[in-house]
Amino acid sequence: MLVSAARMHLEGDRRDPAWWGTPHVELMGRMRRRMIVIAAFGLTPPGAALELSDAGDARVSLPLSSGLERYHGETQRLLESILVRNGCRLVRTDFLDKSLAPEEGVHFSTAHQVGSCRMADAPSAGVVNAHGEVFGCPGLYVSDGACIPSSLAVNTSLTILANAERIAAGILDRYRLQQGAAA
């Protein structure tokens, strides 16, 4: 959670949260040196979509399924129980959209967007095969985070790099085989 994308509410404080001013200064003074933030990194099933608007702008969406909503509730209860069992006081946060209005309902965020050219077993489920080759476009490969089919949680750069190296090695092997067959 980035504090820059959230507003905090202290239990029992009836004032509207603020980014600045007396309520914010007092909250930061009370939380100074004592705040613990727990974030959950989950391996949720792929469900997000990257779409283009009529104006050509990219838009990422994640429809909220009952399974995803259940996952969110269970995760939130688990994290809150860890804090409460250890004597912490819960501070509720509102996640804010680009206009600084609170997000309604369940909110998911990511710093590691992946899967816009998802790796899959068939064209109906993704864009590239297990070798990183685009379905229906022989010789065109995707090897960055776009071909990763689902959230990686942590150490994304290492996983993406390892997969890119695997795809590159496969391209070289296929090229060598083609060169050997031509000789």
| Tens-binned pLDDT, residue by residue, of the chain (183 aa) | 333 445 666 666 676 666 667 777 777 787 777 777 777 776 666 677 778 889 988 887 788 888 888 888 888 899 889 888 988 878 777 777 777 777 887 877 766 678 788 899 999 989 999 999 999 999 999 999 999 988 776 678 899 999 999 999 999 999 888 888 776
Q: Does residue 74 sit in the same domain as residue 127?
A: no
Q: Does residue 7 sit in the same domain as residue 91?
A: yes
Helix (H) or strand (E) holding 66: helix 66-85
Q: Does residue 129 sit in the same domain as residue 181?
A: yes
Which pLDDT value is given to residue 97? Answer: 77
User: Domain ends where: 95, 126, 146?
Assistant: 95
Domain count, the chain: 2
Please check whether residue 127 is in contact with residue 140, taking contact to mean a CB–CB distance below 8 angstroms: no
Residues 6+ apart with CB under 8 A from 146: 114, 115, 116, 117, 118
**20 domain residue, yes or no:** yes
**105 domain residue, yes or no:** no
Which pLDDT value is given to residue 120? Answer: 94
Which pLDDT value is given to residue 5? Answer: 46
Domain that holds residue 139: 112-183
Q: Does residue 73 sit in the same domain as residue 123?
A: no
**106 domain residue, yes or no:** no
Q: Does residue 7 sit in the same domain as residue 79?
A: yes
**134 domain residue, yes or no:** yes
Q: Does residue 12 sit in the same domain as residue 44?
A: yes
* 33, 95, 117 from 120: Cα distances, Å: 46, 33, 9
User: Domain ends where: 34, 69, 95?
Assistant: 95
Closest Cα partner for 150 from 48, 52, 80, 69? 48
